[in-house]
Amino acid sequence: MNYQYPQAFHDGSRILAGSYIIDCGTAQLASPECTPQKVHIYPIRWNTSPQGNGSGGTIREIRKQPDDVNITFNAMSATGVSLSQHAFFARLQFNPTPKTGEPRTPRYDLVNVTLLYAPSGTPTFSTNGSHLSINQESITVGEARGISSMGNQINYVGFPAESCNIDILGVSLQTSKVVRVTWDPEYVDPIDTSPDDKWVAIMDSTTSNRMMFLAGMRGIPPLVDALITGAISSIRSNGNRGFFQPWLVDQYGARYYEDG
């Protein structure tokens, strides 16, 4: 089992880890009363079959929302030799006695699943004769990173704002306005926001300078990134070794405070 990105529920008795919810019933997870006999590990299932059968779709990079009910997640899809990814928004619903699908054990089902993609949306690039325009307000959610603590903004890794610079962007759920959450070269992941949304905790590869030969020239339009974004982002790590350091970023995005 993969218990990545553990996230605690406000009730103190549950934690989301990977695609599972670990539950200690009436006991607090951090208390002596939470004994192994009380712990249940419930899988999360995303139904992708019209008949509701099978094990469902594979989900990754789950982020729990402040209401403890909704989540964002991402899913990979392959078409021929092409590999793509889309982001989704969904609601957790506990199912104690599933009648269809696998596993046929108590689980959390994802309901009201919404794809965060608009095929007819405003394109990032447009041409007018010999002129090429880049629309920084284009919403291209490549990988969802959750909703802000106030619940009014979806944060995501999208199409780069600067060439070879993988930052976090955010889109307002009320106005659709796109803002840049982080403003430094290299790669950011993961992130979490403070309760008032004025601060963002991030893991950033800036300290290592590993990607500086790509992302060091600030303000360059992402003209080449349409083809090589995937290759650029892969440089952030060396196999299983990551090069991230924690940073605290204020609400203006461009001011970083190093942890420690």
pLDDT in tens, 55-112: 999 998 899 988 899 999 999 877 776 677 889 999 999 999 999 999 999 999 999 9
Total domains present in the chain: 1
> What SS3 state is found at 81?
coil
Q: For 184-217, what is each residue's pLDDT tens digit?
A: 767 887 888 888 888 888 887 777 777 777 776 7
210 belongs to a structural domain: yes
Q: What does the chain come to in residues?
A: 260
16 belongs to a structural domain: no
**Dihedral sign (CA 38, 39, 40, 44):** positive
Instruction: With cut-offs at 50, 70 and 90, classify the pLDDT of residue 2.
Output: confident
66 belongs to a structural domain: no
195 belongs to a structural domain: yes
pTM over 0.85: no
Instruction: With cut-offs at 50, 70 and 90, classify the pLDDT of residue 1.
Output: low
Higher pLDDT, 19 or 186: 19
pLDDT for the residue numbered 101: 93
155 belongs to a structural domain: yes
225 belongs to a structural domain: yes
- The boundaries of the domain holding residue 183 are 116-260
Predicted confidence (pLDDT) at residue 253 exceeds the cutoff of 70: no
Task: Give the mean model confidence (pLDDT) for residues 233-240.
Answer: 74
Write out the two tokens for 102.
Answer: 């696998």
pLDDT for the residue numbered 109: 97
Give CA separation, 138 vs 18, 68, 118, 141, 157, in Å: 30, 29, 11, 9, 13
249 belongs to a structural domain: yes
pLDDT for the residue numbered 185: 66
DSSP 46: B
Write out the two tokens for 99.
Answer: 């009648």
Neighbours of 190 (CB within 10 A): 17
55 belongs to a structural domain: no
pLDDT for the residue numbered 257: 56
